[in-house]
Amino acid sequence: MLHEDKRVPITPGIPWESHQDYLPWFRRVSHLKVTRGREDGHNTESAEERTATALVLLDKCLSGTHISPFEMKNTLREVQRILRGQDAAHLSTPGPSSEESGLSDLGLGFSLEKLNLGPRKKLLVLGLGGVLMHRMHRRDQKTNAQYYRHPDGSAGSFLVFNRPFCNEFLKFCFERFDVGIWSSAREWYTNEGLSTISGGLRDKLLFVWDQKNCSDSGFKSLERIEKPIFLKELKKLWEDPTLPWRRGQYSSSNTLLIDDDPYKALLNPPNTAVFPESYKFDMKNDAVLGLKGELRLFLDGLAEAADVPSYVKEHRIGQPAITESDPNWDYYSKIVRRFR
């Protein structure tokens, strides 16, 4: 079950021998005959079965399969819970103390950070409106009757229409990336809209940000004069101490913003965002998020790429980024200068 092949991908800077020391511990846990279950009288999965489930995830980690620190922490907590009340002292392994690790020791005799042998997942920052769904004000329902289809939900005065393949796309993203949502809408709408499109997957999101986390440029959209231009500065994510990762874990090398408005990335490093065409509810044949859709295929390659900027530069999709060659650069450059 466990892999001793030295070709297993490991975290740069951590010698293979350090990881190899953990293998006897895992073998011991895998051979434990733990049959103690809950004593509440309910039919539940046996402790032995739960141990086996946890070890499958641990094995994925050892074999270089993508597994997030969040998943790893939950897995080890499960093993700890199963072993609680038994003599687990003899299971402790050599290795660094929790003080040497960015993640806390769970009382299992090793630090979590040193166990994350596989390549770290990149961070996907997904927009909401226009990327995963479309919202339409109720007053526009009759005007658009010829295109009308049943909405997937509502948020206040707005009807919400999920983009085709939305839920399947989110599941795909969670398997390959760490994922967060960043909407430029207000908090109440973001939460209502997210409940419509997430299909019970919200707990897997690392964060949900909304308009208050954006930077107000003070300018208006050229397409809709009443619409303020809000910016999504990725450096806020990278530097925010309240988010569930250690500072420095994410940067321009492993973060991708996906939004339907290129101007929202004006202040970010080059090639750290892609801009799929904005979704509208009457786009019946839209397949951007589908199995063979443009965005899904792009992300499938990105998951295995060495870094985000190089891959984005070599694989152009969707709308172009706003640069000095943009016909409206005179306008957008004013926004850039205001923040520099």
In this predicted model, which residue has the larger pLDDT, 111 or 127?
Answer: 127
Strand segments, DSSP code E, in 207-268 are 208-209, 215-220, 228-231, 255-258
Q: What is the pLDDT of residues 177-221, one digit of tens each?
A: 999 999 999 999 899 888 888 767 788 999 999 999 999 999 999
Question: β-strand 215-220 against 228-231: which pairing, if any?
Answer: antiparallel
Q: Specify burial of residue 188 (Cβ count, 10 A radius: 0-12, 13-18, 19+).
A: exposed
How far apart CA 226 and CA 319 sit, in angstroms, is: 22
Q: Are 171 and 297 in contact (CB under 8 A)?
A: no
Write down the pLDDT at residue 151: 82
Q: Are 117 and 10 in contact (CB under 8 A)?
A: yes
| The last residue of a domain, from among 115, 134, 157 | 115
Number of domains the chain is built from: 2
Return the CA Rg of the chain: 23
**101-123: b or e for each residue (b if 16 or more CB lie within 10 Å)?**
bebebbebbbbbbbbbbbbbbbb
Give yes or no: residues 171 and 191 share one domain.
yes
How far apart CA 39 and CA 103 sit, in angstroms, is: 32
| The last residue of a domain, from among 74, 91, 115 | 115
Q: Is the pLDDT of residue 309 over 80?
A: yes
How far apart CA 293 and CA 28 sit, in angstroms, is: 45
Write down the pLDDT at residue 108: 45
In this predicted model, which residue has the larger pLDDT, 198 or 16?
Answer: 198
Write down the pLDDT at residue 166: 94
Write down the pLDDT at residue 284: 84
| The last residue of a domain, from among 115, 142, 175 | 115
Q: What is the mean pLDDT of residues 126-153?
A: 77
Q: Residue 12's pLDDT band (boundaries 50, 70, 90)?
A: very low
Q: Is the pLDDT of residue 26 over 90?
A: no
Give yes or no: residues 282 and 330 share one domain.
yes
Q: What is the mean pLDDT of residues 150-177?
A: 89
Q: Residue 119's pLDDT band (boundaries 50, 70, 90)?
A: low
3-state secondary structure of 325: coil
Give yes or no: residues 109 and 130 share one domain.
no
Give yes or no: residues 100 and 135 share one domain.
no
Sheet holding 158-162, edge to edge: 133-137, 158-162, 153-155
Q: Determine which of 8-12, 123-127, 321-325 has the lowest per-residue pLDDT on average.
A: 8-12
In this predicted model, which residue has the larger pLDDT, 170 or 72?
Answer: 170
Q: Determine which of 113-127, 243-257, 316-330 has the lowest per-residue pLDDT on average.
A: 113-127
Give yes or no: residues 133 and 65 share one domain.
no
Q: Is the pLDDT of residue 154 over 60?
A: yes
Full domain range(s) for residue 40: 16-115
Reported pTM:
0.67
Write down the pLDDT at residue 196: 85
